[in-house]
Copies of this chain bind each other. A is one copy, B any other.
Amino acid sequence: MIGRHRHLIGLEDLSREEILEVLKLAVSMKEVLRRPLKKVPTLRGKAVVNLFFEASTRTRSSFETAAKILSADALNWTSAGSSVTKGETLVDTARNLEAMRPDVLVIRHAASGAPRLVAESVACSVVSAGDGAHEHPSQGLLDAFTLAEHFTRASGAGPEAPPDFGLFAGKTVVIVGDVSHSRVARSGLHCLPKLGARVRVCGPPTMIPAGIEKLGAEVHYSLQKAVEGADAVMMLRIQHERIGDPLIPNTREYSRLWGLNARKAADWLTPQCCILHPGPINRGVELSPDVADGPRSVILDQVQNGVAVRMAILYLLAGGGAADV
């Protein structure tokens, strides 16, 4: 259980306390992940099934690694042949899998709402690994964890100091790109304000959803204005199918208006502003290589923290006993 929840479908559902429960547990999990011997018997005898209807080696591997470090059995079930219109088939697949007695079903699907539909049909726990343009809750949590680490380092704490989740208050995080179609953005928007941060969104007008101010976001159409005084900038991945939009005729134009390179970073960002990206990066589009690999980038921290956060999620939902990690 994460607080009152048996499933993790979206961060919209979680309270500040529930979000902090996961993040705090992830601190211990990251310590396990960084040991020379990365193995604890905590979830031995538990089973995690990765049910991916969209290709994603990255997120699937992260959940699989998290499961294995906790000694759970991990089973991968990938299916290309499922469409948005086959709601019943999705539920049939999930109920069949459930009959094999997994403890957690991790599901990625192109259709928004698919994980909730499955959660309503099965007795085991369901974790969304991203559904359509809805949410990607484990990404939102790993982003928050990474930001807390950065804010802690920036506050002058030593390099080994644990992340201080109280440091979001008064911080400004900017999300840049195709916010409309981004489940990463949506999970960030449901998470960061609960932790105390201000969120600005910025991108081509056609890619900023109407009414997003209701989620507490400030909207900008100038990147320079958006990042002014910001503590962190989260660059979204632009999908190739969006290129060709009247406002974004090509990737060069996107990069010119919405990308970050070393010059813009030096001119526009405060010295302590860090840069996140959910990956995989379109190098030279959202970020120039020198920025992606530069000192402001916490992108690889995000990947590592992803495993730690997913260990915490699996631990809480698979009903591990005492936190014997």
Binding site for B on A (CB under 8 A): 33-39, 44-47, 49, 57-58, 61-62, 64-65, 68-69, 73, 75, 77-79, 88-89, 92-93, 95-101, 279-281, 283, 289, 300-301, 303-304, 306-307, 319
- How many copies of this chain are found per oligomer? 3
For A88, the closest partner residue in chain B by CB is B283
- A312–B6 Cα distance when bound, in Å, is 32
B37 touches A100 (CB 8 A): no
Nearest-neighbour CB distance to chain B for A2, whole angstroms, equals 19
Other A-B contacts than A47-B65, A58-B96, 5 sampled, CB-CB below 8 A, are: A49-B61, A57-B78, A61-B100, A65-B73, A65-B101
Instruction: Check A289/B75 contact, CB under 8 A, given A35-B45, A65-B100, A96-B58.
Output: no
B39 touches A44 (CB 8 A): yes
Q: Which residues of B sit under 8 angstroms from A283, Cβ to Cβ? A: 88-89, 92
A92 touches B281 (CB 8 A): yes
Cβ-closest 6 pairs across A and B? A37-B45, A99-B303, A39-B45, A99-B304, A68-B73, A99-B300
Q: Which residues of B sit under 8 angstroms from A300, Cβ to Cβ? A: 95-96, 98-99
